[in-house]
Structure 1
Amino acid sequence: MTHIRTRFAPSPTGFMHVGGVRTALFAWLIAQQAAGTFILRIEDTDKVREVEGSIAQIEDSLHWLGIDWQEGIDKGGDYGPYLQSERLDIYKQWADKLVASGRAYADPYTRDELDAFRELAKAEKRPFLYRHHRPENPPEWDGSQPLRFRSDPKEYRWHDAVMGDLSTGPEAIDDFILVKSDGYPTYNFCHIIDDMLMGVTHVLRSQEFISSTPKFLNLYEALEIERPTLGTLPFVMAIDGKKKLGKRDGAKDVLEYGREGYLSEAMMNFLATLGWNDGTEQEVFTVQELIDKFSLDRVQKSPARFDEKRLLWLNGQHIRMLSLDELIERVTDFWPAAAAGASDEHKREVLALVQDRLKTLADLPILTSYFFEEPDPNWLMLADNKQLRKLEHEQIRSLLTATRDTLADTSVAFEPSTLQETLNQLLETTGEKPGILLSLIRLAVSWAPFSPALSDTLATLGRDITIARIDRALHALDD
């Protein structure tokens, strides 16, 4: 069997967002599934658009997601260099071969002359094709002029691993630039040379390149090389579905999600299912399940919408899938400042209480800060609760006083099951609904909009702190 070799070849023109990372993920999954090789190559031939620090950001993004490469930049390999700007001599050799075979020529035209050709085509209401204006006697290519590919217009039929069987006529084939006047090759040329020399078996591209595929096929033939398996990935659209998600439309740096408390495996799950499913109703996948089940023939042909609410839901699911030990390692940078002096045992106890309520790791402070510091009473929070805001001052005092007296009884063990029984008895003796009494107690001891089960919260706080907080709440009620 052929050894599978896939690659991700981004340009260092800024941060990585979900569209680019999804392409990397799909290529990585193909290689992982086949015990193949995943290559990271950097296409840095467009020096005008290059952004300093982008290469490190690309590497950091892939590392965070858990996408590792076996060959390429910073790893080495038998087919380097893996930075295209260090491969200029290689492209020059192949350009010279095309010139020698008559399949490439120096472009002698100025920008004004090319514009005139375009205006003429426009006036004659026909598409502009450069091949209609090939120079009869092009100058010898000395590197100071652009080098163009001499195309051979023809019909093409090919199979795309995602889009299926495709075809096009000769009108889609034109002469295109292989090497610019600054000596740097174009993407259309150098990626084909690199893929060939690096033995890439599967090439995944975004949908924006599908119109260029016939040109690539023409170049494969001119170079007399076997084309790899081609797969075209549909766009990732903004949530409204009206346009492609892009940096200008608010697409975030992938690493920003990590800083916001998203798990890398949740992001991987989300990206993989942006336009792919395994044919079942399953939505939550482990990394290994994605590796085992992924296939290009299950990638949908239509664009997928970026739904951050779904990402948030998936993140909560993956947080709950972690063992407590794994979660403790992940939340190191997300604890509230007040937890700095707390024991590891206490933090572990608190984390166990809130794990099921975390949507992101960044939720940790709002869910746990009152376990580590005394919260300030704020009776204005009653206005946010439809039931509590209807209570009169004396009703609040009566309910909290009854609660305080009951919980102060040392015969009441401060452990979850006993406390739950005690709270149930309080509901009976006061005649109040759970949504009122339990919400009121929860507010008085935490002053937080969310909290775990009340019996667990009280048990973790302990009797002394619970009573002190209810007393303080009663005192603040009169201020």
Structure 2
Amino acid sequence: MTDTDAAKIIQPEDSVEDMKEREHVKPELPDDVRVRFCPSPTGIPHVGMVRTALFNWAEARHTGGTFVFRIEDTDAQRDSEESFNQIIDALKWLGLDWDEGIEVGGPHGPYRQSERGPIYQKVAQQLLDAGYAYESFSTPEEIEARNVAAGRPKAFGYDGYDRNLTEEQKAAFRAEGRQPALRIKMPSEDITFDDLIRGEITFKAGSVPDYVIVRPNGDPLYTLTNPVDDALMDINVVLRGEDLLSSTPRQIVLYRYLMELGVAKQIPLFGHMPYVMGQGNKKLSKRDPESNLFLHRDHGFIKEGLLNYLALLGWSIAPDNDIFSMDEMVKAFDVRDVKANPARFDIDKAVSINAEHIRMLEPQDFLNRSVPYLFRDGVVSAERWDELTDRERSVLTAAAPLVQPRVRLLGEVAGMAGSLLSTSEYIAPEADAKKQLKATAGEVLDAAIAALDVVPEADWTTDNLHETLNKALIEDAGYKPRVAFGPVRVAMSGRRVSPPLFESMEIIGKPVSMARLRNLREHLAEIQAA
């Protein structure tokens, strides 16, 4: 059954008033909340996956509960150890620590499904022996053919044909070389539950067919392994994406059977988080660049900024506050406050929030985090602060107050600070910086060189440089500030936008500053002619 089909059968006759009323009927949480994060290692971690982890982590921390991390790696064709390691890397980078599970252990292990095969085999046999599951020999082609013959859509789904096969019929199928799948018997009744986010939801009787839990080759499916793991690990709150909403009636029925067998203690509470939408109001795909967690890290998102933004995809701390720490989120978070409406991933807003968090960093913390990006971009000699040269540390310490308020991502630090760290006597202007070199640029550079040449190196300070250039270019020559200082800025940085000019010139020093002015003047005609 597709998500669209599920949408049609969930309270199809409800009015807006009915839905609003249900929104207020949300169950109480247990005293000992146990939540889990259970991704499949099938690709690079994406923002939807991280939001799921974040909301589960925040609920556990808010309630004083337990956050369990396990891996669902039963798909040998798609799962990879590389992806498994990337998921762990992502959680550790973001600071989403877990109490039980992978690496840390616990009383309910193992925590990788690939190591739990005998557990699933035992439970599947129990379900079969108790009559809650049955052997199904029908092929997909046979199911479709029966649907067509009965006047139903070909893709209507399974029709229950194998429920009442005799032992003779089963033996005949086996004689043909067929091996059976195992299907769960779905009751002919409405299935209703109270979603922590969406309120009361009903799946109408007959809308969910009997479903496969074990393939003919004996491999257990998600439909079995996920609920069995939750049951045996005492998970009592399941927070997951809206795409799994249609799985819930199946799992509720399976939990009833598992409780009868003594495998499960309870049916957990469910909360289904809203879709994350991308550009054009289409669901954000894990293959979209905006969805790639590590791409955001490579661009220079810091964990505080990214987590803050992801928290806003369905939840808010207050109507007039979009900026908050994880401690503040934990204090305020309640999954029942998450909205059911789809949330749109807005990269511009994410970058803006990240900039706020960068500005809140202590200067040395900002520098420590920036150094790996500076090293990657070839601006400094080492990847760690304590491995830099004395000069690099001195320049960066002086540059931090100039750069930190002006970058939105740590990946932008190299562009801002590179000209301050460089000892190059000429920095070729970037394309947009060349537009600053108007017809008067030569006269401006000549006047600046003449005025600055007589400033003693000992007096090469921010205040003196400001006073000297202001007098020479604005008071004496009559240029407007943008015209006066634009060419000087381009000479110092090669950029249209840079850290404050006079502070930058003090850091660069007189010899290199003068060389850059003269060399830009020398190349000016060539640049303007291009």
What is the match of residue 212 of structure 2?
Answer: 177
Instruction: Tell me which of 235, 247, 252 is aligned to 1:212.
Output: 247
What is the match of residue 376 of structure 1?
Answer: 426
Query: Which residue identity lines up with residue 350 of structure 1 in the other structure?
Result: A
Query: Which residue identity lines up with residue 29 of structure 1 in the other structure?
Result: A
Instruction: Tell me which of 283, 296, 307 is aligned to 1:257.
Output: 296
1:144, distance to aligned residue in structure 2 (A): 4.4
What is the match of residue 282 of structure 1?
Answer: 321
The answer as to whether partners of 1:71 and 1:77 remain within 8 angstroms in 2 is: yes
Instruction: Tell me which of 494, 498, 520 is aligned to 1:447.
Output: 494
Query: Which residue identity lines up with residue 66 of structure 2 in the other structure?
Result: T
**Alpha carbon RMSD of aligned pairs, Å?**
2.6
Separation in 1, partners of 2:290, 2:131? 44
- Pick closer, same or farther for the CA change 1:195–1:373 going to 2, 3 Å: same
- Pick closer, same or farther for the CA change 1:155–1:9 going to 2, 3 Å: same
What is the match of residue 435 of structure 1?
Answer: 482
Q: Secondary structure at the match of 1:171?
A: coil
Instruction: Tell me which of 168, 181, 203 is aligned to 2:203.
Output: 168
Separation in 1, partners of 2:89, 2:432? 45
What per-residue deviation string (whole Å, max 9, x for no partner) do you get for residues 288-346 of structure 1? 11211222122221111111222221222111111111112111212253432543122
The answer as to whether partners of 2:432 and 2:495 remain within 8 angstroms in 1 is: no
Report 1:65-464 matches (<5 A).
65-123=94-152, 127-131=156-160, 134-137=163-166, 139=170, 144-224=179-259, 225-241=265-281, 243-335=282-374, 336-340=377-381, 342-371=391-420, 372-374=422-424, 376=426, 378=428, 384-385=434-435, 388-389=436-437, 391-392=438-439, 395-410=440-455, 413-426=459-472, 427-464=474-511
- Pick closer, same or farther for the CA change 1:182–1:375 going to 2, 3 Å: farther
Query: Which residue identity lines up with residue 398 of structure 1 in the other structure?
Result: E
1:408, distance to aligned residue in structure 2 (A): 3.0
1:380, distance to aligned residue in structure 2 (A): 8.3
What per-residue deviation string (whole Å, max 9, x for no partner) do you get for residues 218-260 of structure 1? 222222242112100111111211x211134445431222222
Separation in 2, partners of 1:378, 1:35? 57
1:381, distance to aligned residue in structure 2 (A): 5.0
- Pick closer, same or farther for the CA change 1:375–1:381 going to 2, 3 Å: farther
Query: Which residue identity lines up with residue 461 of structure 1 in the other structure?
Result: I
Q: Secondary structure at the match of 1:62?
A: helix
Q: Secondary structure at the match of 1:172?
A: coil
Separation in 2, partners of 1:155, 1:252? 37
- Pick closer, same or farther for the CA change 1:447–1:217 going to 2, 3 Å: same
What is the match of residue 55 of structure 1?
Answer: 84
Separation in 2, partners of 1:364, 1:42? 36
- Pick closer, same or farther for the CA change 1:59–1:382 going to 2, 3 Å: closer
The answer as to whether partners of 1:276 and 1:298 remain within 8 angstroms in 2 is: yes
1:125, distance to aligned residue in structure 2 (A): 8.7
- Pick closer, same or farther for the CA change 1:381–1:235 going to 2, 3 Å: closer
Separation in 2, partners of 1:417, 1:445? 17
Query: Which residue identity lines up with residue 506 of structure 2 in the other structure?
Result: A
Separation in 2, partners of 1:186, 1:339? 51
The answer as to whether partners of 1:105 and 1:147 remain within 8 angstroms in 2 is: yes
Separation in 2, partners of 1:5, 1:153? 31
- Pick closer, same or farther for the CA change 1:31–1:377 going to 2, 3 Å: closer
Instruction: Tell me which of 10, 24, 29 is aligned to 2:39.
Output: 10
What is the match of residue 12 of structure 2?
Answer: none
Separation in 2, partners of 1:380, 1:110? 64
- Pick closer, same or farther for the CA change 1:121–1:423 going to 2, 3 Å: farther
Query: Which residue identity lines up with residue 106 of structure 2 in the other structure?
Result: G
The answer as to whether partners of 1:400 and 1:470 remain within 8 angstroms in 2 is: yes
The answer as to whether partners of 2:241 and 2:275 remain within 8 angstroms in 1 is: yes
Stretch moving more, 67-76 or 468-477: 468-477
1:126, distance to aligned residue in structure 2 (A): 9.9
Q: Secondary structure at the match of 1:38?
A: strand
Structure 2, unmatched stretches of 5+, are 1-29, 260-264, 382-388
The answer as to whether partners of 1:12 and 1:43 remain within 8 angstroms in 2 is: yes
The answer as to whether partners of 1:154 and 1:173 remain within 8 angstroms in 2 is: no
Structure 1 stretches of 4+ with a deviation exceeding 6 A read 140-143
Aligned length: 473
- Pick closer, same or farther for the CA change 1:70–1:111 going to 2, 3 Å: same
Stretch moving more, 330-339 or 122-131: 122-131
Stretch moving more, 419-428 or 437-446: 419-428
- State the identity as a percent: 32
Separation in 2, partners of 1:338, 1:190? 50
What per-residue deviation string (whole Å, max 9, x for no partner) do you get for residues 43-92 of structure 1? 11222322342211111111121112121122210000111121122122
Separation in 1, partners of 2:432, 2:294? 38
Using the size of structure 2 for normalisation, the TM-score is 0.83
1:170, distance to aligned residue in structure 2 (A): 0.6
The answer as to whether partners of 2:144 and 2:155 remain within 8 angstroms in 1 is: no
Q: Secondary structure at the match of 2:202?
A: strand
The answer as to whether partners of 2:276 and 2:344 remain within 8 angstroms in 1 is: yes
1:41, distance to aligned residue in structure 2 (A): 0.9
1:129, distance to aligned residue in structure 2 (A): 4.1
Separation in 2, partners of 1:192, 1:419? 70
- Pick closer, same or farther for the CA change 1:48–1:377 going to 2, 3 Å: closer
Separation in 1, partners of 2:205, 2:334? 32
1:432, distance to aligned residue in structure 2 (A): 1.2
Query: Which residue identity lines up with residue 462 of structure 2 in the other structure?
Result: P
1:123, distance to aligned residue in structure 2 (A): 4.5
Structure 1, unmatched stretches of 5+, are none
The answer as to whether partners of 1:153 and 1:173 remain within 8 angstroms in 2 is: no
The answer as to whether partners of 1:161 and 1:296 remain within 8 angstroms in 2 is: yes
Query: Which residue identity lines up with residue 69 of structure 1 in the other structure?
Result: W
Query: Which residue identity lines up with residue 266 of structure 1 in the other structure?
Result: G
The answer as to whether partners of 1:161 and 1:231 remain within 8 angstroms in 2 is: yes
The answer as to whether partners of 2:34 and 2:236 remain within 8 angstroms in 1 is: yes
Stretch moving more, 128-137 or 9-18: 128-137
Separation in 2, partners of 1:102, 1:474? 89
Using the size of structure 1 for normalisation, the TM-score is 0.91
The answer as to whether partners of 1:117 and 1:128 remain within 8 angstroms in 2 is: no
The answer as to whether partners of 2:68 and 2:101 remain within 8 angstroms in 1 is: yes
Separation in 2, partners of 1:424, 1:348? 27
